[in-house]
Structure 1
Amino acid sequence: MPRNQQIVLDNRPRGAAVLGNFRLVVTDTPALAEGQVLVRHHYLSLDPYMRGRMNEGPSYAAAQALGEVMIGGTVGEVVESRNPQYAVGDKVLGMGGWQEYSVIDGKAPGALRKLGAGPFPLSYYLGAVGMPGVTAWYGLVKIIAPKAGDSVVVSAATGAVGSAFAALARARGCRVVGIAGGAEKCRYAVQELGFDACIDHQRYGNEGKALAQALGQACPQGIDGCFENVGGWILDAVMLRMNAFGRIALCGLIAGYDGAPQPLSNPALLLVKRMRIEGFIVSEHLEVWPEALKELGALAGSGRLRPRETIAQGLAAAPEAFLGLLQGRNFGKQLVQLI
């Protein structure tokens, strides 16, 4: 059995996460028991939710245990199998974590999913045609529920979720406006992802009213739906331009992952405009995944969804790439290539 490099959570962050919170270890891969498979990971997904799991305290999921392999989605290949449902060479998706290999109980429901030969790279199953894509689909379809002609806004617009959101919203005839950090990202959003407009929040220096004015110009009929990934002053600005009975799908609060408070500046708007704001965790809605993945796969296969990827090389690069993701240094979906 091969030696296995792993990255574990060594200690919990105090404020911002740092490289010292992680530790690289090398272990022996255990021999397979009956029903198990050994997976060699090709790509590891890095996602903002991982930062929240590093904290200790009540949340929607258990905290990442100290000394254990960091949680994370992976795609890879079966290299040894003692399970008749999986053959050597099968490409699979799972939660293999921050490591080169994983031993998986192939009989456990949902532990692994076989991947077909799609018209797009294997890495897409961790982004556009994976959990981030389904996240965008659920927030748009089930919470915002737009009709043709509605104006919808998404923050972190050029990331894995925002990219999928744009394609899905355009397919429904919406006006789609993004909020992203930097002129290059905004150019990419409009020219490659098909956003009708994209606002560079870096131009406004945490001034919600200035950002709200820019949103008013980009959405002259007001905002009907918002897919929120950031929170803080970004959400404040959006709320100032929301129409009556607007819907906000609350997916993430990146602005508060380091423990900073996120008070709303104008909470009365929720009442005055009769807005609906709904948080969701996509893993709690597995019933929609087949429908969502079918649409996302069709969009990616046809080229209407063209996500960009930032790929770090080698497991040792994962912590630095993850911290860069939290600081917005990535462009599109952040991955680590392991093979």
Structure 2
Amino acid sequence: MEGVVESREWYLAAYCPQGLPTSEHLKFRTVTLSIASDSIPDGHVAVESLFISVDPYLRTRFTGTSDGLGFQQFPIDQVITSFSVLRVIGSKDRKHYTEGDLVLVPAAPVAEYSIIPSSEILRKIDAQSGISMPEYIGSLGIPGFAAWIGIEVLGDPKPGSNVFISAASGAVGMNAGQLAKIRGCRVIGSTGSDEKVKLIKEEFGYDDGFNYNEESDFDAALSRHFPDGIDVYLDNVGGKMLEAVLNHVNKCARIPLCGMISQYNKVWTERDGVRNLLNMIGKEVRMEGFLLGTYWHRFGDFAKDMEGYIKEGKLKTKNKLNVGIESFLDSLSSLFSSSNIGKVVVQVKA
């Protein structure tokens, strides 16, 4: 039948309160979807997925319980969603979108084809910009935006500030460190291997870094690297690292809480506590959690900054492309392994 496609998609079959989701929780299926014009409601577009973002926060939407990040849980038996680059293949909103447009959608179905409200589109992509499509998932997507909010908006370090970034070789960390360097800061990162320490120094311009797996005492490691204290800490891991940082903060230090990946696979009663919050009082430290949804109104400012940095060669990126929508589950699992470097992207189509 004309206008009908077979679309493979990932859906949530069962909640996973702790540990990594497996094929028992996330399942793969094929559905038949009509993308004919009369099947597209007014104000909607039919799209095909090109690139899908794989981000740690997605893990918190599979637990079946309310969590500290405040994201709604994915419904059972429904297709899951993620930040994606899509191509419009049919439109009932021709005032704004026509066939062939490339668009960014913050919560697009993790499916080969779908029909979505055009109001859910964040922005169009200029295919002639000279910026590769995966960059719109990475430095110009969720992780880049998180790094920009954490450093530019909340951290706001001054030139010469001492900045510490955890998970420094990850998708957020590699952008955050470079943004701090652009501001003229001294930047140190923690990573999960000696190879990654070398990467953040040689490719991303970090002043130094350390392998947290080789450190038996985080407090001692921070004493070595921050003899003059920490002014801004972008926290991506939480737990014992956050606790150690609070022993080294300077007066009026800022700690944007971007994520706590070390805690995502644990129920809350098993998560690491932070015992030295008292340090925040005497040093007048601001520790602030943030969600990107609160800052969508700043996305245009972010995109302008980051596109400029990329074109000027001031910001380098590293993407791990996994080809085929069937690779989504393995891609998600890789985020919680110290073997992962850079931004993980599922390439559905070129």
TM range (shorter): over 0.9
Distance in 2 separating the partners of 1:52 and 1:14: 9
User: Which residue in the other structure is 1:155 paired with?
Assistant: 166
CA contact (8 A) 1:160 1:333 kept: yes
Q: What displacement does 1:270 show? A: 1.8
Tell me, yes or no, if structure 1 residue 327 matches structure 2 residue 337: yes
CA contact (8 A) 1:167 1:299 kept: no
CA contact (8 A) 2:18 2:63 kept: no
Aligned pairs (5 A) from 1:284-323: 284-323=294-333
User: Which residue in the other structure is 2:293 paired with?
Assistant: 283
CA contact (8 A) 2:16 2:64 kept: no
Tell me, yes or no, if structure 1 residue 28 matches structure 2 residue 39: no
Identity of aligned residues (%): 29
Q: Counterpart of 2:276 in 1: which secondary structure?
A: coil
CA contact (8 A) 2:103 2:121 kept: no
Aligned pairs (5 A) from 1:1-339: 1-19=4-22, 20-30=24-34, 31-59=39-67, 60-84=70-94, 85-94=96-105, 95-106=107-118, 108=119, 110-116=120-126, 117-204=128-215, 207=216, 210-259=217-266, 260-339=270-349
CA RMSD, Structure 1 to Structure 2 (Å): 1.5
Distance in 1 separating the partners of 2:291 and 2:199: 28
Q: Counterpart of 1:143 in 2: which secondary structure?
A: helix
Q: What displacement does 1:16 show? A: 0.4
Task: After superposing the two structures, state which structure 1 stretch, 281-290 or 39-48, moved more.
Answer: 281-290
Task: After superposing the two structures, state which structure 1 stretch, 265-274 or 324-333, moved more.
Answer: 265-274
Q: Deviations over 1:183-237 (max 9, x none)?
A: 1111110000000111111102xx4xx2222222222321101000100111122
Distance in 2 separating the partners of 1:272 and 1:35: 54
Query: For structure 1, which runs of at least 5 residues remain unmatched after alignment?
Result: none
Q: Deviations over 1:219-278 (max 9, x none)?
A: 232110100010011112222221122110001111111123120132222223221110
TM-score (norm: length of structure 1): 0.94
Distance in 1 separating the partners of 2:113 and 2:272: 39
Q: Counterpart of 2:78 in 1: which secondary structure?
A: coil
Task: After superposing the two structures, state which structure 1 stretch, 149-158 or 258-267, moved more.
Answer: 258-267
* One-letter amino acid matched to 1:9: L
* One-letter amino acid matched to 1:83: D
Q: Counterpart of 1:118 in 2: which secondary structure?
A: coil
Distance in 2 separating the partners of 1:179 and 1:216: 13
Q: Structure 1 residues 2, 280: CA separation in 2 closer, same or farther (over 3 Å shift)?
A: same
Task: After superposing the two structures, state which structure 1 stretch, 93-102 or 44-53, moved more.
Answer: 93-102
CA contact (8 A) 2:237 2:262 kept: yes
Query: For structure 2, which runs of at least 5 residues remain unmatched after alignment?
Result: none
Task: After superposing the two structures, state which structure 1 stretch, 218-227 or 41-50, moved more.
Answer: 218-227
Q: Counterpart of 2:329 in 1: which secondary structure?
A: helix
* One-letter amino acid matched to 2:84: T
Distance in 2 separating the partners of 1:41 and 1:90: 12
Residues matched between the structures, number: 333
Distance in 1 separating the partners of 2:122 and 2:158: 36
Q: Counterpart of 2:16 in 1: which secondary structure?
A: coil
Distance in 2 separating the partners of 1:291 and 1:121: 20
* One-letter amino acid matched to 1:66: I
Distance in 2 separating the partners of 1:64 and 1:126: 21
Q: What displacement does 1:52 show? A: 0.7
CA contact (8 A) 1:199 1:215 kept: no
* One-letter amino acid matched to 2:337: Q
Q: What displacement does 1:112 show? A: 4.3
